[in-house]
Amino acid sequence: MSEYDNISNEIRELAAKLLARGEVDVVIGYKPTALPGRTQPAFAYKPEDAREFVFNPLCVSGLPLYLTKAKPEISAKDRIAIVAKGCDVKNIVALQRENQIRREKIKVIGVVCKGVVGKYGRCDGKTEPKPEDLDEKCRYCDVNTPRDYDYLIGEKIESSPQSKEKEFEEINRIEKLSPRERWKFWEEHFKRCIKCYACSKVCPLCYCNRCIVDKTMPRWIDPSSHARGNLAWNIIRAQHLAGRCTGCGECERSCPMDIPLMLLNKKLERESEELFGYRSGYNPHDPIPLAVFREEDDDEFVR
Amino acid sequence: MKKYFFKSVQISVFRVIRVPYLWLKNMSEQSENKKNESNGEWEPKIIAFVCNWCTYVGADMAGTGRMKYQANVRIIKVPCTGRIDPLFLMRAFERGADGILVSGCHPGDCHYNAGNYHARRRFAAFRKLIEFIGIDLRRLQFSWVSAAEGKKFVTIINEVTDAIRALGPCKEYQSMALEPPKDKVMPE
């Protein structure tokens, strides 16, 4: 029995117990798919449904999406239990901070995670993925043990301290380029965008009932997938997540054209930490940086 | 009293959304005519988003005081700098602006108490983002100009215009395709 079998068994037992006792209406977790090497979100409404739950390094998708308005068929349930890795818990905290969920109605089944497999990484799902197969976010993970949970599964581990240098290596490299070179870099990437909006559909923090791109009176973002419309869309998506993004990497993972969206998100994450002093996903009582202000905020850039 | 207040708010909200949109929509056509008039010589096109209560009055003061500034600026009046969505700025660049000035009340002077504080945070983040994308930050400038600072308004407009004139047209943005690349279009 591998470590992940034990974790899977514990999740199944706990989910079945919660459902049998009637403590929750639905448990959100992962189950294997018909395709090997993948998992998909699973919902257990009855104790026997919990049998199919698994947890392994192939459990990449972020489940907190199902707690938001974007998925009303699940999030409308009164009491929900959710299997969450450290990064998912960060999203739950961010949703709590934005009053999108009521934490007391949600039972978080925290799972100790040693990293999941990357978009193009390979993993059999039984053992930990090799370092080169790990997802980008997992290389700099500081929440291997979730920071907030009701039940914890797996043995607590300490996250190894990460160097900011390495984490922001690529961003620092791009910042050193000239504006024209940076423009070229992004033009190449945004040129490929097909405006499928997967990046916003999969983001747990993009929960607006009606997105700005869907508004037509006036239409601010050109819906056609030419260069200008793509640029406007990608900039505004990043801007709307400024100071809110927790860095779960779902947008980049789901992007069919491999646009490095996390560079934009991480850049803004760092800026909002430097400018306003908040990091999203760590404290549910922090304000949202762009929704509040301090009189002594920096205005060096204003003449 | 209350009833009228809400009605006026409704009307003004509609205008506030509609007016900058139409302005920006017509801008590219207007600018074409301008170019021909000036014998084909390139003139920078600068959009100033100014707040109704301070900078617009400051600009008015420059006018009543017969002060002269370079005529490259097109002023768009908004109720407050807090009303300026980053989308306005993106749209201005899309429609051919070479430079943008955002100007409002000094901190503490906002007619709506806190609009400019919120705007300051929003643009602090936004300018970092577009700098990262590769837009030169000299093309997007911010200032506080009060209703009494007609002189400062003139100085800022002149400085911004000179800076943009030195930079040249915002070619990167204007040369961006308005058609999807051929390989992305479905074959007929």
Question: Which segments of chain A have a pLDDT < 70?
Answer: 1
Q: Which two tokens stand for residue B107?
A: 């901190």
Q: Where are the beta strands (DSSP E) in chain A?
A: 26-32, 39-44, 80-84, 106-111, 151-153
Q: What Cα–Cα distance (Å) separates residue A230 from each residue in A116, A196, A219?
A: 30, 11, 14
pLDDT band at residue B23, thresholds of 50, 70 and 90?
A: low
Cβ under 8 Å to A: B residues 93-122: 94, 107-108, 114, 117-118, 120-122
Residues A58, A125 within the same domain: yes
Chain B residue with CA closest to A213: the answer is: B87
**DSSP annotation of A155:** -
- SS3 of residue B16 by DSSP: helix
pLDDT at position A1: 65
Q: Where are the beta strands (DSSP E) in chain B?
A: 46-51, 73-78, 99-104, 140-144
Choose among B117, B172, B178: nearest Cβ to A226. B178
Residues A28, A101 within the same domain: yes
Burial of A227 (C-beta count, 10 Å sphere; 0-12/13-18/19+) = buried
Range of the domain at A227: 164-291
Rounded to an integer, the average pLDDT of B118-133 is 93
B62 lies in some domain:
yes
- Find out whether A234 and A264 touch, Cβ atoms under 8 Å: yes
Residues A190, A211 within the same domain: yes
What would the pLDDT profile of B171-187 be if each residue is shown by its tens digit?
Answer: 888 877 676 666 666 55
Residues A121, A189 within the same domain: no
For chain B, the C-alpha Rg in angstroms (whole number) is 18
pLDDT at position B27: 62
B182 lies in some domain:
no
Look at residue B86 and tell me whether its pLDDT is greater than 90.
yes
Q: What is the ipTM of this complex?
A: 0.89
Q: Does B55 touch chain A (CB under 8 A)?
A: no
Cβ under 8 Å to A: B residues 151-180: 156, 172-173, 176-180
What mean pLDDT, rounded, does chain B reach? 83
Most confident of A132-141, A186-195, B31-40, B145-154: B145-154
Residues A262, A173 within the same domain: yes
Choose among B132, B144, B178: nearest Cβ to A182. B132
Rounded to an integer, the average pLDDT of B50-56 is 94
Range of the domain at B111: 2-174
A297 lies in some domain:
no
Q: What does the alpha-carbon distance between residue A68 and residue A203 come to, in Å, rounded to a whole number?
A: 10
Q: What does the alpha-carbon distance between residue A140 and residue A162 come to, in Å, rounded to a whole number?
A: 6
- Evaluate the omega torsion of the peptide bond into residue B107 and state whether it is cis, within 30 degrees of 0: no
A90 lies in some domain:
yes
B186 lies in some domain:
no
Q: What does the alpha-carbon distance between residue A57 and residue A130 come to, in Å, rounded to a whole number?
A: 11
pLDDT at position B144: 95
User: Which of A240, A268, A303 is most worth mutating to test chain B (most B CB atoms within 10 A of its CB)?
Assistant: A303
B180 lies in some domain:
no
Burial of B108 (C-beta count, 10 Å sphere; 0-12/13-18/19+) = exposed
Last-in-domain residue among A95, A121, A153: A153
pLDDT at position A240: 94
Q: Which two tokens stand for residue B150?
A: 């007609």
Q: Tell me which amino acid residue A91 is.
A: N
* A276 Cα to chain B: minimum distance (Å): 8
Residues in Cβ contact with A75 at an 8 Å cutoff, skipping those fewer than 6 apart: A66, A67, A68, A69, A101
Find the angle CA(B106)-CA(B110)-CA(B113) to the nearest 5 degrees: 135
B156 lies in some domain:
yes
Look at residue B3 and tell me whether its pLDDT is greater than 90.
no
Q: Which two tokens stand for residue B127?
A: 């300018």
pLDDT at position B36: 46
Q: Does B126 touch chain A (CB under 8 A)?
A: yes
The residue with tokens 């370079």 is B70
Q: How many separate domains does chain B show?
A: 1
Last-in-domain residue among A129, A153, A177: A153
pLDDT at position A150: 93
Residue-wise DSSP of A235-302: HHHHHHTTTT-----HHHHH-TT---HHHHHHHHHHHHHHHH---TTS-TTSPPGGG---TT---TTB
Contact B134 A271 (CB under 8 A): no
Which CATH number does the domain housing residue B17 bear? 3.40.50
B126 lies in some domain:
yes
User: Given its phi and psi angles, is residue A26 left (phi above 0), alpha (psi -120 to 50 degrees) or beta?
Assistant: beta
Residues in Cβ contact with A146 at an 8 Å cutoff, skipping those fewer than 6 apart: A84, A85, A86, A88, A89, A108, A110, A111, A112, A152
Q: How many separate domains does chain A show?
A: 2
Residues in A touching B171 (Cβ below 8 Å): none
Residues A169, A136 within the same domain: no
What would the pLDDT profile of B113-125 be if each residue is shown by its tens digit?
Answer: 999 999 999 999 9
- Find out whether A6 and A25 touch, Cβ atoms under 8 Å: no
Q: What does the alpha-carbon distance between residue A161 and residue A232 come to, in Å, rounded to a whole number?
A: 36
Residues A32, A136 within the same domain: yes
The residue with tokens 């607006």 is A208
A13 lies in some domain:
yes
A303 lies in some domain:
no
B33 lies in some domain:
yes
Last-in-domain residue among A153, A179, A214: A153
Distance of CA B125 to the CA centre of its chain: 17
Phi, psi of A145 (to 5 degrees): -95, 125
**Other Cβ atoms closer than 10 A to B137:** 12
B150 lies in some domain:
yes
In chain B, what percentage of residues exceed pLDDT 90? Answer: 64
